[in-house]
Amino acid sequence: MAYSSGGRLPFESASKLGHLNVIESEWVRALIKDFETNDVGDANNYENDIWESFDPMNAQPLQHIWVVDGSYVPVEENHKELAFVKTALMTVEQSKIADIDKEYPHPLKLQEIMKDSALFHATVFPLRNLKSAKGNIYDTVRHVIYDLMRNDEGGQYFETLKWLAYKKWDGKNNSPSFECPHCEEKVDEGIPYDQDTGKCPFCGKEVLLTDMVGFHLDMNEDNAPISVASSYMLIMEMLMLFTVIRLQWSNRDPNLISNTLFIKDGPMTLKGQYSKLVPNIREFLNFAKKQGRPIHLVASEKSGLFFDYLSLSSRFVKPESGKIKYAVLNHGYIRRVIQRAPDRGNPYGMRTNWGEKVFVFLDENTHMVLNMTTGGYEKENSYPSTSDIIGLERILATLPTLISRKYEGALYPVELVNGIASMSNYPSAKILQDFVKDMI
């Protein structure tokens, strides 16, 4: 914000600025003039012809809800550093959520829907100045990830990793390519179908299927950055959610999966080496769509570029009584209006995103940045359009019952699962600190 002159300054601010060479540019002078005359609150400053209307009475809300969230905390003690990661998966029935007062929930009702409804996964990683008898930080983290995924919940999460890596719905495929954790060579052929481990063709050493994901690329022998913990959290959240999807896919009731809403917090994005799972996720969602068993996935973003843009521009959206307004953002719009980036280089989200951005506007006080899936990707600026989004109408019809009254732009199931997955609030952080003290 510019400082306002109270008139008590020795010079007028304009005359002060006049000494600067930059003011001599005609372009800058024109800009300053425009800057002064343009009303920032003008709806014309936002390209708002993107909005469409939907009557939620025209689709059946989804009955079952699964939601995942996670958290991580670095803990430092005596120059030693480690990180705790916790993820939680929870299920609730849409009818019960609809019944709850989101602002002042009745404790007994809340207790009833939370009871026996959650699964947890937790781990600890050494990050700095820690060495186990078995090896350095690099190998410890690799093996902790492998052992944990294979053992937790009877190996169900590991089976999901295999299911995605080997595209088990579609014959017998090798895993995606990976970088050997020992000799750093790129192994294009991946790990052979359904194997838990493989052998590097270059150095002959054992490679774990979890190495294929690429956590080791973020570490050196003796140090791991906190990003290993955050990446593990993101991968685990995705695997937990897809474990339910995988199990429901083969459920006796073939309609169960398409009557379920799967929710995650944060964008449907996997960056860097972790993006190698993105094409497989898209392929499965497309496969399910083609089989007539669409999978309804939604993610909410409560901060960031898209959230900021919607917060500013939503004032100018005209509400329609009884209707939900929504906007499926195509890549051209995202580039030009939101990222304000040049139209070159990698098309938006091509490598990293398994979902697309959808703005939703329920009323003057309630708007959300959501991610939904298409099961594919096209480079065109006009992609995606409304018809590309999987299960858009049923997701929209379910949303009005899921609005958080505590957090702007949030979904209530995410608020619930966040409460049990979060370690950042007292007393968890204190307990972990004490735990570390005892351990070291």
Which residues contact Zn ion by CB under 5 A? 180, 182-183, 200, 202-203
Q: Which CB, 182 or 293, lies closer to Zn ion?
A: 182
Nearest to Zn ion of 200, 263 (CB atom): 200
Q: How far is the CB of 158 from Zn ion (least distance, A)?
A: 22
- Helix then strand count (H, E) for the chain reads 14, 13
Provide the minimum distance between the beta carbon of 216 and Zn ion in the complex, in angstroms, as a whole number: 11
For 211, the token pair is 């190495």
Q: Give me the least distance between CB of 222 and Zn ion, in Å please.
A: 20
Length of the chain as a residue count = 440
CA distances from 92 to 71, 116, 136, 379, 399 (A): 21, 10, 42, 37, 14
Q: Give residues with Cβ within 8 angstroms of 434, minimum separation 6.
A: none
User: CA-CA distance, 202 to 244, in Å (whole number)?
Assistant: 37
Q: How far apart are CA 201 and CA 295, in angstroms?
A: 38
The C-alpha atoms of residue 139 and residue 152 are separated, in whole angstroms, by 20
Least Å distance between CB 182 and Zn ion?
4
CA distance 260 to 297: 9
The CB-of-187 to Zn ion minimum distance in angstroms stands at 7
Minimum distance from CB of 211 to Zn ion (Å)?
Answer: 10
Going by C-alpha positions, the residue among 366, 401, 150, 161 that lies closest to residue 281 is: 161
Query: Distance between CA 145 and CA 181 in Å, rounded?
Result: 14
